[in-house]
Amino acid sequence: MQRINPLSFAMALTTALTLAGCGGDAMGVPRAARSAAEPVDRSIARYLDRTLPAGPGGTVVAARDGELAHCKGFGLADRTARTPATCDTVYDVMSITKQFTAAAIMKLEMMGRLRTTDRISTILGPVPADKRGITLHHLLTHTAGLAEGLGDDYEPVSRDAMLDKALKSKLLSRPGAEFHYSNTGFSVLAAIVEKVSGTSYERFLATHLFAPAGMTRTGYVLPEFSRAQVAVEYDENGTSQGRPFDHPWAADGPYWYLRGNGGMLSTGRDMFKWHRALLGDTILNAAAKAGMFEPHARIPGTEAAYGYGWGVLKTKDGRVAWHNGGNDWSFASYSRILRDGTMVYWVSNQASQAGRWNLEERELEMNQALADRARDND
């Protein structure tokens, strides 16, 4: 099941911003050794060399404003084939998918096809009495009261079957009353994208978000990934769990307990392109981005809030947007400092090794260090 760990990430970014400007290595080493294929920031590379455990494969990306400072793999994407991880290795970005779904809703609002204040019944038709108050805003902010999930990510469930079960499920709280992180809510949003646009969820994203952003290697099946391009995932014992599409998928992508809330495949380079597109008005105008990054709903137990598909944290350096994701094998983390355009993304195809290390537990440390170095222009 896809997940977010807002407390650890909020703490990480708070610390990173407090210490910003203190990063970088001494001894006069040039900060960046760049190639056209994989730009490398030497400060980041040396930090990763002494920090990452042996075993996992992954990719680390860092950018300041519109400049890609670092995009390089570590370890192996496929241990059997001995394939190195690179800037262009394809991974499951897991719950980071939610920001794409949210952006699709904002795009449809820009197009005049819906409003975030709309009740879901205006799109889905008659709904049970306890669901009549649910709006798109509630779904986007995890305040609709829907359960986290309805079943296993890989259960072969159609869109309409998912909607039927979601609408018949018992609410955890009345709409708008409480924050309950809900993968179900984002699957419902993906279904709404289809119903309003008249095309498939992935096709809408590809046409209206990914293509304008120059993202050619992001999607479920439309990019036609070859197996060799996609990272194999490994459990805590180092046992292969295959590639994301080796699990039960429909012909057009994951089934509907996962679609819209997770499972999107992408590369580090494309995740940078997504960040760069969000810096301007390539995909969303200023009003849409303001709504997406507004701290709409407080995340219980933290100083952070949830916007539309993003966690949001207010700091002395302005607003930070973030999300992370995990699926018991891989782990990914993505953050953007909105004021100065700093972006950090990292993903690993093995999240932990039993009794030895756990990258999710190192999220605070890694995001602090990577943010420090990304923001250091010296």
Q: DSSP assignment, residue 374?
A: H
Segment 249-272 shows an average pLDDT of 98
Collapsing DSSP to helix, strand or coil, 277 comes out as helix
Q: Average pLDDT, stretch 256-274? A: 98
Which pLDDT score is estimated for 374? 86
Confidence class of residue 184 from pLDDT cuts 50, 70 and 90?
Answer: very high
Confidence of residue 130 (pLDDT cuts 50, 70, 90): very high
Which range, 12-16, 23-27, 188-192, 300-304, has the best average confidence (pLDDT)?
A: 188-192
The answer to whether residues 11 and 367 touch, using CB atoms and an 8 Å cutoff, is no
Structural domain boundaries in the chain? 42-46+54-376
CB atoms within 10 A of CB 214: 13
364, pLDDT greater than 60: yes
CA-to-CA separations, 275 to 88, 246, 334, 365, in angstroms, rounded: 16, 29, 10, 22
pLDDT > 90? residue 81:
yes
What tokens appear for 147 in the block? 């359960």
pTM of the predicted protein model: 0.92
Amino acid at 47: Y
End-to-end CA distance of the chain: 41
Residue type, 184: T
For 210-225, write each residue's pLDDT tens digit: 999 999 999 999 999 9
Label residue 66 by pLDDT band (50, 70, 90): confident
Cα-to-chain-centroid distance, residue 18: 24
Residue 371: predicted pLDDT: 83
Percent of the chain with pLDDT over 90: 83
Average pLDDT over residues 79-87: 98
Structure tokens at 178: 């409480």
Of 28-32, 103-107, 129-133, 159-163, where does mean pLDDT reach its minimum? 28-32
pLDDT at 8 over 50: no
Assign 65 a pLDDT band (cuts: 50, 70, 90): confident
Q: How many helices (H) and strands (E) does the chain have?
A: 12, 18
42-46+54-376: CATH number: 3.40.710.10
Q: What is the mean pLDDT of the chain?
A: 91
Q: What is the pLDDT of residues 270-296, one digit of tens each?
A: 999 999 999 999 999 999 999 999 999
Per-residue pLDDT at 4 exceeds 60:
no
pLDDT above 60 (res 9): no
At 377 the pLDDT is: 58
Q: How do residues 90-108 score in pLDDT, each as one tens digit?
A: 999 999 999 999 999 999 9
Q: Tell me the percentage of the chain whose pLDDT exceeds 70.
A: 90
Q: How far is CA 69 from the centre of its chain?
A: 20
